Chain A
Amino acid sequence: MKKLDTYRYVIPKSFQPGMTVEGMIYADEQLIRAIERDQTLVQVANVATLPGLVGRSLAMPDAHQGYGFAIGGVAASDLQEGVVSAGGVGFDINCGVRLLASSVQREAIGGRLDSLLNQMFRDIPCGAGKKGIVGLSFQDLDKVLEQGAGWAVEAGYGTATDLEYLEESGCIRNADASKVSQRAKQRGRDQLGTLGSGNHFAEVQYVTEVYHEEAAKVFGLHPNQIVVMIHTGSRGLGHQVCTDYLEIMQEAMKRYKITVVDRQLACVPIQSPEGQDYLKAMAAAANFAFANRQMITHWIREAFRRILGHAGLGIVYDVAHNIAKEEVHKVGGEMKKVLVHRKGATRAFPKHRPEIPRRYFEVGQPVLIPGSMGTSSYVLVGTEQAMDETFGSSCHGAGRAKSRHAAKKEITAEELVRQLKEKGILVRGASKSGLTEENPNAYKDVNLVVDVVHNAGIAKKVAKLVPIGVIKG
């Protein structure tokens, strides 16, 4: 591995046989040491062996070992010659983050935070095995899969304006519900409108620092303002879509004479029937996730209204961090259509890109970076440099550093809740083990991760958010 500058490390093609492109890791000296401890470098190199890859196989500073692809990885393949990999998107398709900006200042909440969290915890189904809206028909589920957040708005969850502030306006157009298996639909049907467990959460936060006045103003953010961050995805439906297509791709790969160094990297040509079917099913699962976050948004607004009397929780933005998207990027000096796999990475488009909301046209898209439980989160803005270097992508969070088991051994749920309370953060969790596994010490320092991204120029800091209330699945 070669250090290119303070924030960039290159993995040369000589690192491993079969690499057709170089690898590149964004990290400083501290983070690269953490990255070197697990299989991340090998996984970035493995991805660099996939057919039709363009540019470099990338890893963000929050990267850690995943399965097949590293989590925090970005890889783009030529739309005509390249491949699509279900593992390159991951099981939680369109796992993502949404930020809501309230009209409430921190000091105005006073002693009502407890009641607000209780209300949110009652209204948002969370934790393992929890049901969402009961009685959704398969016919309606197909509409969710093809219309995304638009379906939720039509069903009374939120307003049409909300849709303008979602990546893809909350609906990837080429979704086809018929490409999603009955098993995936069966898993997803009663999970629509649920937070899930693991690292998923809804947090009440406030803006503690503003770094970029102009962008913060355009995003509607100002100091001490209460905001709400939602982190969840496509639940069992997306997990099953990935499981199904991993099998399909493994089988089909033989026909296309593609071999991979790790079975989890199974892939097929983008233009093959299997590749196209996967992209249509993936889009459907992504739409499910957009609708899911839209419904949770509605319940949070209701909880704010009930407890605080008003909410004003307009959407700042909603980003996907597990997704594959057709985009146009500069490759070798010319504009090219590519499929960008973002596996634990966020799109970070700069100003003047047609894909971003009109209101943000002159500043760039908001990039939402959730920290680990009880630590800071960030709002960043996309840059031109990200277009030049990372297919318009940036990091997605803090990145896990310790296993769930190790995290759980370190602290009891009671002690964790007490420590967070001392820091002024109230927690409601569906399970004790869920809480301790998300022990903030199990994660890298989100401040370091965001500083690398900012200093490397692939996104710029806009505002820092600090939690006061956490709802944990």
Chain B
Amino acid sequence: MDPHYRILEHPADLGIEAWGESIGGAFENAVLALVSALVDPITIEPGVEKSVLLQGPDYEGLLVKLLSEVIYLFDGEKFLTGRASLASVTPTSLEGRLFGEAFDEKKHRPRLDVKAVTYHQISIKKESDGFHVTVFVDI
């Protein structure tokens, strides 16, 4: 299956565009896109589960928080997310699970330090084939 995301060009950062049939599906693919900047996603065995529950001001805010969570888990707790499964996404809250494993430098061969997620040109759009999200991360 082709990945449901692509990496965009930006002079300072790295952009990701992801899509899905539902907004939750688009968010899940945005997580995959972000992880692909950190390591090769194929190397992650998603055997460990972490729950995620976030509150936010709107969909954009929740997307930034979700991706920030993935960055924090990697950088702060050395946990690599391989897949996200979101049970519910409303305009003000998000609930779901992240599947991954402990980071192992030799196994996962890190690609980039992703510093943070930005609101720069963030967009969430409903199109005929589903939801498209665009977000830029600082590296």
Contact = CB atoms under 8 A, between A and B. Distances in A.
A433 B119 contact: no
B138 A197 contact: no
Contacts of A91: 115-116, 138
A361 interface: no
A129 B11 contact: no
A403 interface: yes
Contacts of B75: 187, 236, 239-240
A435 to B, nearest CB: 12
Interface stretch (B83-91, B92-100, B105-113): B105-113
Interface in A183-206: 183, 186-187, 196-198
A137 B11 CA distance: 38
What is the interface residue range for chain A against chain B? 35 or more
B2 interface: no
Interface stretch (A60-68, A140-148, A150-158, A382-390): A60-68
A67 B136 contact: yes
Contact of A263 (B10, B105, B119): B119
A240 B72 contact: yes
Interface residues of B, number: 33
Contacts of B103: 129
A81 interface: no
B117 interface: yes
A148 to B, nearest CB: 21
Interface of B: 7, 9-14, 38, 57, 60-61, 65, 68, 72, 75-77, 103, 105, 110-113, 115-120, 122, 136, 138-139
Given A66-B120, A67-B13, A250-B57, 12 more contacts: A65-B11, A67-B120, A90-B138, A91-B116, A239-B138, A247-B61, A250-B61, A262-B120, A264-B118, A400-B11, A406-B9, A433-B111
Interface of A: 38, 64-68, 71, 90-92, 127-130, 183, 186-187, 196-198, 236, 239-240, 242-243, 246-247, 250-251, 262-264, 266, 400-406, 431, 433-434, 473
Q: Which 8 A-B pairs have the closest CB atoms?
A: A67-B120, A263-B119, A128-B110, A129-B110, A186-B76, A403-B9, A67-B118, A239-B115
